[in-house]
Amino acid sequence: MGRYKKLFSNTLILALGTFGSKFLVFFMMPLYTACLAPEEYSIADLISQTANLLIPFACAGIADGIFRFAMEETEDRKKVFSSGLFVLLVMSVIFLLLSPLLGLYKTLDSYVWLVILYVLAANLHSVVAQYIRASGNMTLFSIGGIVGTALTIAFNLVFLLGFDMGITGYVLSVILGDVLVTVLLVLASGAWRDVDLRLVQRTKMKEMLKYSIPMIPTTIFWWITSVSDRFMVIAMKGSEVNGLYAAAYKAPTLLTLFCTVFIEAWQFSAVLEKDEEERSVFFSRVFAGFQGLIFMAASALTLLSVPVTRILLADSYFESWKYMPTLSLAMAFSALVTFMGSVYMVRKKSVYSFLTAAVGAVINIGLNLLLIPQYSAMGAAVATLASYFVVFVIRGAHTVRLVKFRLGVPRLIFNTAALVGQSILMLSDIHLRYLWSSLLFAAILAVNGQVIVGAVIEAVRNLRKKMQKS
């Protein structure tokens, strides 16, 4: 039971930090939508998403390599960290030399400097944070998330309300939050003592880059799947429509948030598990609970899409609620896809992450071109959902060969059908649609809650047996 206890403990620590911090940002949406018009929010979101696209290029994905290699007991962590930082330094210089090319995109022409600072600050923060996480200091990693978010919110209040800085203030708040929390993490962890240029090794950098470089196109393809639709909506339907669409993403992002918290803890536990038979059982049980929680959360968001929109967004953004049910379903499958990606991480098969992400990106672009002209932003939402669903099917069929674990296919089919039906009901004019949607939510809750409660009972029984033996 040690592995489950460790997973639960790490997840709880990360949840307290990440949920505590991200929920604060989540409930800042009324401020953002009040201070920024849909067109301005669209550009601010575009700056952030462009930076997210460039982040892996500007560091050669080395943050992933640092985490994966620093996790290995046979590795010299100081050597891994020092070599990784050297790679980051070199790639940052190259990025700065190429950054004038960003001015070619006219929409961002006045904000290139913000994109540059965003990328550099985010990469340094990520490298330091992932090293701390790999070292097992989950508490500090989690505290960093809380402090970083608190700083971002504080700067938001000053820049948006105090100085009325609009788009610049919104983005600059994130940058300054990243910079200051990185300083805090370095000082609190003593990570600066682990940096030694004499430990930088060409062979170590090659090993890490061999793992991390395939993650770059993987990240890009996921960016295409999750974000390119916003660029295409702007091009085809304008910034105002995209502003509504981008705002609609915020509530379903809670699913991504939960997934991020869990996966950060899960990856740590998954790598440490060495026995193949026990690993299979471990994966099966954890996926069963993870799947249940994801679908229950997506169903709740779908049911509450209208009141959530009224509470979180300004009146001018109300129409964005209609995208939320489809995006909630899309984010549910995005979470399941991420879990499958942990199998590739454990086996160091990053090339399969790349190939499957490429499939999703191609499908997404094709469907966006086909659906957005006719169905506007709703077409983009459907394209995103279809992309994640196809990749999940492919990864689900493949990953069970690498780690033999159960997907619980009958329950997956039920959850998917019920959530699709609920989404259709919410978007229709059917009489008593909220009642029927509530019944489907109750069914999803009953089916998945039973599995989760059963897993908890089994865990308690096993723990009692272990205590009795000892």
pTM exceeding the 0.75 threshold for the entire prediction:
no
Give the residue from 39, 114, 30 showing the smallest Cα distance to 312.
30
> Which contiguous run of DSSP H or E holds residue 102?
none
Give the residue from 218, 208, 67 showing the smallest Cα distance to 134.
67
Give the residue from 245, 248, 251, 250 showing the smallest Cα distance to 229.
245
- Length of the chain equals 470
Cβ-contact 312, 30 below 8 angstroms: yes
> Integer distance in angstroms from the first to the last C-alpha of the chain?
13
Does residue 447 surpass a pLDDT of 50?
Answer: yes
> Any idea which of 22-36, 53-67, 173-187, 341-355 has the lowest mean pLDDT?
22-36
> Any idea which of 16-20, 290-294, 375-379 has the lowest mean pLDDT?
16-20
What is the average pLDDT score of the chain? 82
Task: Classify 196 as helix, strand or coil.
Answer: coil
What pLDDT, on the 0 to 100 scale, is given for residue 1?
46
pLDDT greater at residue 218 or residue 170: 170
Q: What is the pLDDT of residues 70-93, one digit of tens each?
A: 877 777 888 989 998 999 999 999
Cβ-contact 294, 336 below 8 angstroms: yes
Q: How many CA atoms lie less than 13 Å away from 348 in the CB half-sphere? A: 12
Does residue 99 surpass a pLDDT of 80?
Answer: yes
> Which contiguous run of DSSP H or E holds residue 19?
helix 2-26
Summarize the confidence of residues 312-322 as an average pLDDT: 81
Domain map of the chain by residue range? 36-209, 214-470
Q: How many CA atoms lie less than 13 Å away from 52 in the CB half-sphere? A: 18
Q: Cα(360)–Cα(354) distance, rounded to whole angstroms?
A: 10
Summarize the confidence of residues 370-383 as an average pLDDT: 92
Q: Cα(448)–Cα(62) distance, rounded to whole angstroms?
A: 38
Split at pLDDT 50, 70, 90, the class of 172 is very high
